Structure 1
Amino acid sequence: MDVTANISLGDPLEAARKATAEMLQTRERTYSLPQPFYNDERLFQIDMQEIFQKEWLIAGMTCEIPKKGNYLTLQIGNNPVLVVRGADNTINAFHNVCRHRGSRLCTGEKGKVAKLVCPYHQWTYELDGRLLYAGTEMGEDFDMKKFNLKPINVKTAGGYIFISLAENPPAIDEFLATLHHYMEPYDMENTKVAVQTTLMEKANWKLVLENNRECYHCSGSHPELLNTLLEWDDTHDPRATQEFKDHVAESAAKWEAEKIPYLHAGFGLRNRIVRMPLLKGTVSMTMDGKQGCSKLMGRIQNPDLGSMRILHLPHSWNHAMGDHLIVFTVWPISAQETMVTTKWLVHKDAVEGVDYDVARLREVWDATNDQDRRLAEENQRGINSTAYQPGPYSKTYEFGVVNFIDWYSARMLANLGAEPAPYLREVQIQSN
């Protein structure tokens, strides 16, 4: 039976959920996903319900809300979210929804408030979510304690703010402890966002991630990036040369001497941290390979720290260098539209125009992001064709894509409450 055909116009969402599980259970592991995973709106809704509303997501950086009352907002599917720094330096997260009639509380992307006041009818909340004022109009028997803001799970580590909309999100503390250790040299509380960009891509979010998880396309598409980037994440990569392995060993000896964490740390297929050197003679992801910011981060003394690569599925990759950090997050908008945000962070005391130039800092990744956008959009256009059928991944060049799809398939089946596919049983264990 062709289970792909089960995703047809008019089917209720529950039938689509069943068909989604069947397709994942019967697909060929080393092939791309069936077409509906990339262009069907009902399957997109399932992605939002079972992945983006249940997994841990990076909401932002702690330095973006440095003081009491600072907040940031974001949108996860239909869910507006509010993250605010409260008393005692605590970071809280809530559904950005007033408990009166459901209006959004904070409408700006970022800001600073003394209290959280709904602009509709002025219901007022403390920064910890407690309802403080609803007006006498609600009557004498109105119990304000029953109408506090609805909280969202939130954790912080290494300057990152993680949130999960799930009631019981998956375990993440082991990864966060390691992230805290690896980010210690950067002193992330004393950083700032030098510049941020938002790119809209007319492609499914999984295509954006698949493109990121391989460098098979790099030599033909990313000349600016390859001025500094070495594509291998690990000396065990089957394509890694002896020259590359020697370069890693030489760099690691210097990092060891300076007590800079660098060893590969993996947490199933969801999270990975590893420091890899950049091309010899380069120290930062700029066009000429020289520092993008003259003031180094945290306690770092040596600009030649390569790039510490941080992966967080389902939606983020990062590059941490000695002079600046780049944070990428992917936010699904619809079945065939995705928003990619990029943030460049530097030392908080670095002065624009003196220590760094914004145009120079973002030049490489502006070009690379736009090149990746075009690739993903062309990928989407082809997949929409009646001629599309899943194609084989390269076991050497695209193993990172296979890992991402393995993780996605395992988490989707688990969150749907479906039986794991035989080919994913080991992956499922590693991903929980």
Structure 2
Amino acid sequence: MDPIFPARLDDPLASAGEATVEMLVNRQRNFSLPQPFYNDARLFALDMQEIFEKEWLFAGMTCEIPAKGNYMTLEIGDNPVILVRGNDGSVHGFHNVCRHRGSRLCVSEKGKVAKLVCPYHQWTYELDGRLLFAGSDMGDHFDLAAYGLKPVQVKTGGGFIFVSLAEEPPAIDDFLTTLNHYLEPYDMENTKVAVESSIVEQANWKLVIENNRECYHCNGAHPELLNSLLEFDDTDDPRATPAYKTLVAKKQADWDEQQVPWQLKRFGGRNRLTRTPLLDGVVSMTTDGRAACNKLMGRLESPDLGSLRILHLPNSWNHFLGDHAIAFRVLPLGPQETLVTTKWLVHKDAVEGVDYHPETMRRVWDATNDQDRRLAEENQRGINSKAYEPGPYSETYEFGVIDFIDWYSERMQENLGHSVPSLQVVRG
């Protein structure tokens, strides 16, 4: 046990919180975090309490629940959540907990219902959460209105669904407005999930995000991905070569002509959008670089749109191409266990086996996800050693990791009620 966490705690989480703030205040900037951040059960509980129960989380896509009564479920730590399309067409979010004796209402990942009915005792709720039926045995004076489902905050933008378990989550509307603008050409309400996969990585969720936030490892680990992806993180990447800058300028002129947004947008450390070129002559993230779907998304007229990269901390990164899109969702399962879900999206009218073949579409990212899983798991095994101590990040190759760790440190301290000194920005 790390000595900063005392063996006997009258209030384990509160004491761990104080120790966590102390470690974050005293951490060496631009270095990886102290060991407990990656493997301690109490610190993981704080991550869930202060990050995953207070921040906005990517939950899924609006196209997954396209019509009244369509629902999807997810688990945020110990908190099961339902997202359902209501009678008015809006997306509602609720804790997936019956107000009778607490059973989960919906036990499938996806489905369609007329009403939300608890399978235990058949308490029945409207799609907006109102309790409609509780049986006659509750007595004549039982107040149905007092036992509606407990809501979860939901916001949508650009086809994305975000949820927050907090009563007062941080501001996100500016990001959602920009998402709507950047994804307008894709007509996200008229897309569908062509194929989906989930893998469990035996690694802390922060290691999964850290691995995604740099391509320092790409040359040695991702041969399939580098058939299409240029390793530069965005158009302001400090490592960008003159040849890359020339390619960027050429592609941006093409995108302007097609009225497709490309400008780099940042929203603090949490959210970022940037459109970057793929390898010259490559139009999609496939093994041969050709389009994976013949029917383009929305109003797009060319598959050669590079990749619109969308980052949302703490739990999502995305690639939007001309022919299809790939959305990634990260949900922690334990101190050293993380669920990573990947969704491939296409035009809703694209026909499987005619316009696209799922095995072709998913091949590159199936390989990349498995390679990243092994990297994160080996990273975790090394960090668990008594020999581990925080090591330095490269400010050129790993600036994205530095940005993530700074964001995480800031949010943990603020959510724990500690004022955070302003951080020097690594780059603009």
Q: TM-score range by the shorter chain?
A: over 0.9
Instruction: Quote the Cα distance in structure 2 between the aligned partners of 1:153 and 1:222.
Output: 38
Number of the residue aligned with 2:5: 7
Q: How far does residue 210 in structure 1 lie from its aligned partner after superposition?
A: 0.2
SS of structure 2 residue aligned to 1:88: coil
Q: Is residue 324 of structure 2 the alignment partner of residue 353 of structure 1?
A: no
**Paired position in structure 1 for 2:98:** 98
Cα deviation, 1:391-429, whole Å, max 9, x if unaligned, reads: 000010000000000000000000000131x3x4567xx
Report the counterpart of residue 146 of structure 1 in structure 2. Answer: 146
| Equivalent-residue separation in structure 1 for 2:52 and 2:231 (angstroms) | 28
- Give the structure 1 partner of residue 71 of structure 2: 71
Please tell me the residue identity of whatever aligns with 1:398: E
Q: Hey, what does 1:308 align to over in structure 2?
A: 308
| CA deviation string 1:276-320 (max 9, x = no partner) | 010001000000000000110000001100000000000100000
Is the 2:235–2:274 Cα contact (8 Å) retained in structure 1? Answer: no
Residues 1:221 and 2:221 are matched in the alignment: yes
* Bigger mean CA deviation after superposition, 232-241 or 92-101: 232-241
**2:164 alignment counterpart:** 164
Kept in 2: contact 1:225–1:368 (CA 8 A): yes
Task: Indicate yes or no: 2:32 matched with 1:32.
Answer: yes
Residue number in structure 1 paired with 2:365: 365
Q: After TM superposition, list the pairs within 5 Å mapping 1:314-353 onto structure 2.
A: 314-353=314-353
1:230-289 residue CA offsets vs partner (Å, 9 max, x unmatched) = 111333322100000000000000100010000001101100000001000100000000
Say if 1:23 and 1:34, in contact at 8 Å, map to a contact too.
yes
Q: Give the CA deviation at 1:90.
A: 1.1
Where do 4+ consecutive residues of structure 1 move more than 3 Å? 8-11, 424-427
CA offset digits 1:358-414 (Å, max 9, x no partner): 101000000000000000000000000000000000010000000000000000000
Read off the aligned partner of 1:124 and give its amino acid letter. Answer: T
CA distance in 1, matches of 2:297, 2:65: 19
In the alignment, the residues of structure 2 paired with residue 206 and residue 186 of structure 1 have an alpha-carbon distance, to the nearest angstrom, of: 31
- The answer to whether the 8 Å contact 1:4/1:34 transfers is no
Partner of 1:89: helix, strand, or coil?
Answer: coil
Q: What does the per-residue CA deviation read over 1:106-144, in whole Å, with 9 as the maximum and x for residues that have no partner?
A: 000000000000000110000000000001111111111
Which SS does the other structure have where 1:244 is aligned?
helix
Residues 134-193 of structure 1: per-residue CA shift (max 9 Å, x gap): 011111111111100000110111111111000000000000000000000000111000
TM (normalized to structure 2)? 0.97
Query: 2:235 maps to which residue?
Result: 235
Residue number in structure 1 paired with 2:276: 276
The DSSP-based 3-state class of the residue aligned with 1:93 is strand
Q: 2:235, 2:264 within 8 Å by CA — same for their partners in 1?
A: no
Say if 1:225 and 1:365, in contact at 8 Å, map to a contact too. Answer: yes
CA distance in 1, matches of 2:163, 2:13: 26
Task: Give, in whole Å, the separation in 1 of the partners of 2:235 and 2:161.
Answer: 31
Q: Which residue of 2 aligns with 1:19?
A: 19
Matching residue's letter, 2:358 = V
Against the structure 1 CA distance between its residues 242 and 425, is the aligned structure 2 distance closer, same or farther, given a 3 Å change threshold? Answer: closer
**Structure 2 letter corresponding to 1:265:** K
- Using the size of structure 1 for normalisation, the TM-score is 0.97
Q: Work out whether 1:207 is the aligned partner of 2:207.
A: yes
**Partner Cα distance (2:6, 2:249) in 1:** 54
SS in 1 for 2:58: strand
Shift, 1:59, TM fit? 1.0
Q: Distance in 1 between matches of 2:245 and 2:368?
A: 26
Q: Secondary structure at the match of 1:304?
A: coil
SS state at 2:3 partner? helix
> What is the number of residues matched between the two proteins?
424
Which AA in structure 2 matches 1:278?
L
Please say if 1:86 is aligned against 2:89.
no
Displacement of 1:10 in angstroms is 4.0
Counterpart residue number, 2:289: 289
CA apart distance, 1:9: 4.2
Alignment partner, residue 299 of structure 1:
299
